Structure 1
Amino acid sequence: MDGLEVAPEQRKAGKYDSGLEVVPHMEKEVRRDTAGLHYVSGPTSANPGIIEDGSPEPKSPKERKRICGVTSTIFWLLVVGIAIVVIGGAVGGGVGGSMANRKTPAKPSNPDLNATSTTSSTDTTTASTTSSGPVTTGTVGLAGNPCPRSNLTTEAGSDGSIFKLLCAVDWPSGGEAASGNGKVQDLSIETEYTLKACIRQCSDWNKDESNNQKCKGVVYSANLTASFGGGQGGNCFLKSKVGKYFPNADTSVAAGIIG
């Protein structure tokens, strides 16, 4: 039958129908091809630093700062270690030096004859290095020597006076007196073979009233060879005063009256 034909209504393209989809304007570059299709050039990535699978884009590792060819951490550890070694050595040396000085007492400039003695010497003598022992006659060899064991001990004179013994000490004639008053003089020079005999000479001198000066001490040398070889004419020297400290050989001993 002739007449109008009702055509079926065409469905509008829905959101999920296949075909082109309107893209919102994002200020992107739009290009048109020959078929009239639109291609939108969007941002290369919605979130810079995120790759397509959603994982963060790996960052290239930073090169660690180096000093003198090593990392800064190792460099400063080395500096601290060296500083500790240097400071430790300096402190150790200082402590060691201080202990050494403490163990080595200085010799007094003038031994004190008035110091209290704890022991008294006896009339024993030290034998010489020869097998014959100390000599008792003549002017050669070593006579009896009480040093060093009798150092700072006392010896009694025949008149009751007390002598303080100082080993390896001399009071030379013309030297200053320990009191600072006057000079030391030799009152007499004798030859004796023990210190005790030399001290007896001093006590006997003081007993003799004809002597106008008192004997205040003696210097005795056990080395007869050195005494007579030096032209001194004896080895027992009676002194007018106790002298100031003067070092001598270990075969010499000075003895001054302290009471």
Structure 2
Amino acid sequence: MDAVLWNAEASRLWNRTLEQIRRRLAAHLAPGLDDNPPGFRLSYLKVAEFQRRGLVHFHVVLRLDGGGEAFNPPPRELTTEMLSIIIKDVVGEFSITTPHGEIAWGPQFELSDASALERDDLRIAGYLAKYATKSIDGTKDFARSFRARSNITSLNGSSHLRQLALTAWDLALEPEFEEMNLRAHAHAFGHRGQLITKSRHYSTRFLDLRATRASYMARESTGDPMSGTFIFEGRGYDDPHTVEVAEFLHWLSLEAKKSAPRPHATAGEEQ
């Protein structure tokens, strides 16, 4: 249960941690101000990855810019060293309170300066792409949400991952976990966040990327445009003989289901 609850609360812990980092940067730049002063902006790109044991952890790129819409250098007071110190302090100290206890970051934490890398833009893109396209077990079993408990029990993969998904599914029956909507996220072992998220100013918006791809595909289309009209002609089969065949096959299917042995049902199997 603890693993599922960690996954369910990890995104909230990240959001609160980011808020805390921004506040400490603001306090360093302008002591006495509660909100971020206009002199800097902290942007991020985050990829969630699941370990083999089913626990989510994050790969994050943070970028410190100056204020305003343009990409300006940050104030001189906010150095890379200062940002690193603040991040380490917050990650090591910060936690959030949930109805089920305190949630904090674990000891597996690594921080490096990406600006010191050669062609840091390509290295960062390659690094994050590696984890964004990684499957936890090499299959597509957990690539989409489940509609019934039997969808989980029928999986042939890892028994540990299957149990995590079942735990998330079953916890949804408990009143204290109802608002967490764990059944919708059982395939992600309770994780309720997106696999890839970024702040608005980190880079080009996803909406703009989709529009650019659509425009490119429209230009690449070599076929002649076709215009036409769809008219509803009816539904079902268009001749009596086909109707009779379909009804007969349907009857055979029903008879086969009636004569098949019924498996022993377990409590809550199709909750």
Shorter-chain TM-score above 0.5: no
* TM-score interval (norm. to shorter): under 0.3
Instruction: Calculate the TM-score normalised by the size of structure 1.
Output: 0.16
The higher radius of gyration belongs to 1
Q: Which has the higher helix share?
A: 2
